Chains A and B, each alone.
Chain A
Amino acid sequence: MLAGIRTRDLRKVYTSPPPLASGGGFGFGAARGKGKKQPKAEIVALDGISLEVSPGEIFGLLGPNGAGKSTTVGVLTTRVRPTGGQAWIGEHDVWGEQVAVKRLIGVVQQRPNLDFTLTAREILLFHGAYFGVDSKTRGEHAEKLLDRFKLTDRADQMVRGFSGGMMQRLSIARAMMHDPQVLFLDEPSAGLDPQTRLLLWEIIREYNQSGKTILLTTHNMEEADALCQRLAIIDHGKNIALGTPAELKASVPGGYLLRLRFGQHSPEMLQRLQALAGVREVRPNNDHSADVYADRGGSLVGEIANLASGAAVELCDVHISEPSLENLFLHHTGRSLRD
């Protein structure tokens, strides 16, 4: 049975810190303000997220830390109760039919949450047992996964001594142990070395080829580009763009971004910037800075410098970004991923 994912107008407002079950990654400190004396701080984590992921699709949620990715995954995996809206896995309402939903899903949360009182193999075997996998299949499947994730030689050791990368691999193996129809991966490659990341991508693609739906969150454009058939960009709990990686990248005019800082610029100067060959869009941020979207990068700098000195404007700083998620994000939100 193939199962997709659907959400309608999901909202989540946290009134008490910390949202542990959402898997973390949610920036609470700054928003909470000064202290305990204040009335309950309300943090809007999701502000009307509607998504539709087809069965058999690899779908990516892209956004900065605290954008609401983990909370979305939390709501879809029965771990975070939404304040409003609805979510479905296949035909099942996540909050009406939790047990049926849990049967369909495998979840890798952002922080490894392995059972420290068990060995790696036992973690897989007990996970299988919780899902009613019979003992023989359980053993075979665990063996296969341990081998696939290169954990066989540590299989019978307690996981307490595992490195971060090993824990992450084991978490992913565990989520696949009961062969779920829908796999959720919250920042799956965080903490993995490049080689293991490639192995993980290969495993994800293979799993998807057997008809399984995969939803992953990432803030790595390369990963999103390499794996996902479609992406949603999320910021401040809102879905701000949706499309294939190619479509999204094409939505950034030109692709290159030049962030310029001036002593003080003038409207005429910005108009002249706009007229330069290859410049697609000029966005002033304030009197001192402007973002230029263009289809070339470094070769524009000389022309911009000439233009500025011609207009007697001091050019203080130039930063060039190649086509990236950062630019895409900036273009859609006017805000840097790192802000």
Chain B
Amino acid sequence: MNWTTFLALLGRDAHVARRNIVPLLLQTFLQPMMFVFVFGRVMVSSGYMPAAYKSLLLPGIMAISMVFTGVWAVAMPLIAEFQFTREIEDRLLAPIEISWLAIEKVIFGTMQALVAGLVVIPMAWLLLRPVEFNLHSPLRFAWVTVLVALFSACGGLALGCSVSQTHIGLMFSMVLTPMIFFGCTYYPWSALAHFPILQKVVLINPLVYASEGLRGTLVPQFPHLPVLAVLIVLTAFDALFLAVGLRQFHAKAVS
């Protein structure tokens, strides 16, 4: 493992991110802010939702924000760089095993997803006061958060190396949107009890574990899946997406 090259690759991504800081911030913060405002403030203060809904919603918004940011941060540059212009070529020729370039993208995406997720908390606190956090195990919360960020970045790698530029719209409408609606983001998993088949089917959606895991560690007063099970499944999803992503990356990178 060649750390000098690895850090230079990270440095390049950080440099590009710094250059695009304004769109990046807008993309990271605008959506969760609107979610928090509309669902947490408008719906609750107008009386359509009970006040407790604000706290229930928070982990879901955090999960959506992280998954969107992580997938976007890794998939979009990869799709562009693997296009006809092959902008990635110079980095593929850097003196490092090419898998590390994919891993570098995942690490950078994970960091962005973490920022996007964690920023939801102060944002919610500012816009939704009062919110009932119950952070009884910060370590477990940190663990879940890192796994969620990693899963979104690894998912971004797998998608970014499998989807062509012409199918970006399809990726959002066919993959990400159903994931979000059936990802237990706006409601806890137990709320699906009236739809027993759907309740089983959504278990293949990794976002369910992200939302439920954050719910279980951030606002455990609401019903949620067991945190330990969430940790195990999220780890498995991380490993699966990373493996698929690396395979696809190699297939794209080498003819």
Q: Which residues of A contact B (CB under 8 A)?
A: 14, 19-22, 74, 77-81, 98-99, 102-103, 105, 107, 109, 111, 113-118, 122-123, 126-127, 129-132, 174
What does the 1/0 interface line of B88-112 toward A look like (CB < 8 Å)? 1111111111100000000000000
Contact A116-B255, Cβ < 8 Å, known A99-B95, A103-B95, A126-B8: no
Residues of the A chain whose Cβ atoms lie less than 8 Å from the Cβ of B89: 21, 79, 109, 113
Which residue of chain B is the closest to A19 with respect to CB atoms? B255
B254: which of A21, A111, A113, A174 is its contact (CB, 8 Å)? A21
Determine if B16 and A107 form an interchain contact, defined as CB atoms under 8 angstroms apart.
no
Residues of the A chain whose Cβ atoms lie less than 8 Å from the Cβ of B137: none
Determine if A21 and B255 form an interchain contact, defined as CB atoms under 8 angstroms apart.
yes
Determine if A122 and B255 form an interchain contact, defined as CB atoms under 8 angstroms apart.
no
Determine if A99 and B97 form an interchain contact, defined as CB atoms under 8 angstroms apart.
yes
For the complex formed, measure the closest distance between the CB of A109 and the CB atoms of chain B, giving whole angstroms: 6
Determine if A79 and B11 form an interchain contact, defined as CB atoms under 8 angstroms apart.
no
A116: which of B5, B20, B85 is its contact (CB, 8 Å)? B85
Q: Please measure, in the bound complex, the distance between the C-alpha atom of A126 and the C-alpha atom of B90, giving whole angstroms.
A: 10
Determine if A99 and B2 form an interchain contact, defined as CB atoms under 8 angstroms apart.
yes
What does the 1/0 interface line of B56-94 toward A look like (CB < 8 Å)? 000000000000000000000000001011111111111
Determine if B86 and A174 form an interchain contact, defined as CB atoms under 8 angstroms apart.
no
Q: Please measure, in the bound complex, the distance between the C-alpha atom of A79 and the C-alpha atom of B89, giving whole angstroms.
A: 9
Determine if B4 and A174 form an interchain contact, defined as CB atoms under 8 angstroms apart.
no
22 A-B pairs with C-beta separation under 8 A: A20-B86, A20-B255, A22-B255, A74-B255, A79-B92, A80-B254, A80-B255, A81-B254, A98-B97, A102-B94, A107-B93, A109-B89, A113-B89, A114-B90, A115-B12, A117-B16, A122-B15, A129-B12, A130-B91, A130-B95, A132-B95, A174-B90
Answer whether residue B119 sits at the interface, using C-beta atoms and an 8 A cutoff.
Answer: no
Contact A114-B87, Cβ < 8 Å, known A21-B254, A22-B255: yes
Determine if B95 and A129 form an interchain contact, defined as CB atoms under 8 angstroms apart.
no
Residues of the A chain whose Cβ atoms lie less than 8 Å from the Cβ of B85: 111, 113, 116
Contact A131-B12, Cβ < 8 Å, known A21-B254, A102-B93, A113-B89: no
Answer whether residue B9 sits at the interface, using C-beta atoms and an 8 A cutoff.
Answer: yes
Q: Which of B8, B11, B87, B90 has the most CB of A within 10 A?
A: B90
Residues of the B chain whose Cβ atoms lie less than 8 Å from the Cβ of A81: 254-255
Determine if B8 and A129 form an interchain contact, defined as CB atoms under 8 angstroms apart.
yes
Q: Which residues of B contact A (CB under 8 A)?
A: 2, 4-5, 8-9, 11-12, 15-16, 19-20, 82, 84-98, 253-255
Determine if A102 and B95 form an interchain contact, defined as CB atoms under 8 angstroms apart.
yes
B11: which of A116, A127, A129 is its contact (CB, 8 Å)? A129
B255: which of A79, A105, A126, A130 is its contact (CB, 8 Å)? A79
> Which 6 A-B pairs have CB atoms at the shortest separation, nearest pair first?
A129-B8, A130-B94, A21-B255, A113-B89, A113-B86, A132-B4
Q: Please measure, in the bound complex, the distance between the C-alpha atom of A109 and the C-alpha atom of B97, giving whole angstroms.
A: 20
Q: Please measure, in the bound complex, the distance between the C-alpha atom of A122 and the C-alpha atom of B12, giving whole angstroms.
A: 9
Residues of the A chain whose Cβ atoms lie less than 8 Å from the Cβ of B82: 20
Determine if A113 and B87 form an interchain contact, defined as CB atoms under 8 angstroms apart.
yes
- 16 new A-B contacts at CB < 8 Å, known A79-B89, A113-B90, A118-B16: A21-B86, A21-B89, A21-B253, A21-B255, A78-B254, A79-B254, A80-B254, A81-B255, A99-B97, A109-B86, A115-B87, A116-B87, A118-B15, A129-B4, A129-B12, A130-B91
Determine if A130 and B5 form an interchain contact, defined as CB atoms under 8 angstroms apart.
yes
Determine if B9 and A130 form an interchain contact, defined as CB atoms under 8 angstroms apart.
yes
Which residue of chain B is the closest to A174 with respect to CB atoms? B90
Which residue of chain A is the closest to B89 with respect to CB atoms? A113
Residues of the B chain whose Cβ atoms lie less than 8 Å from the Cβ of A22: 255
Which residue of chain B is the closest to A130 with respect to CB atoms? B94
Q: Please measure, in the bound complex, the distance between the C-alpha atom of A113 and the C-alpha atom of B86, giving whole angstroms.
A: 5
Residues of the A chain whose Cβ atoms lie less than 8 Å from the Cβ of B253: 21
Q: Please measure, in the bound complex, the distance between the C-alpha atom of A303 and the C-alpha atom of B229, giving whole angstroms.
A: 94
Determine if A20 and B96 form an interchain contact, defined as CB atoms under 8 angstroms apart.
no
Which residue of chain B is the closest to A128 with respect to CB atoms? B8
Which residue of chain B is the closest to A115 with respect to CB atoms? B87
Residues of the A chain whose Cβ atoms lie less than 8 Å from the Cβ of B93: 77-79, 102, 105, 107
For the complex formed, measure the closest distance between the CB of B11 and the CB atoms of chain A, giving whole angstroms: 7
Residues of the B chain whose Cβ atoms lie less than 8 Å from the Cβ of A117: 16, 19-20, 87
For the complex formed, measure the closest distance between the CB of A141 and the CB atoms of chain B, giving whole angstroms: 15
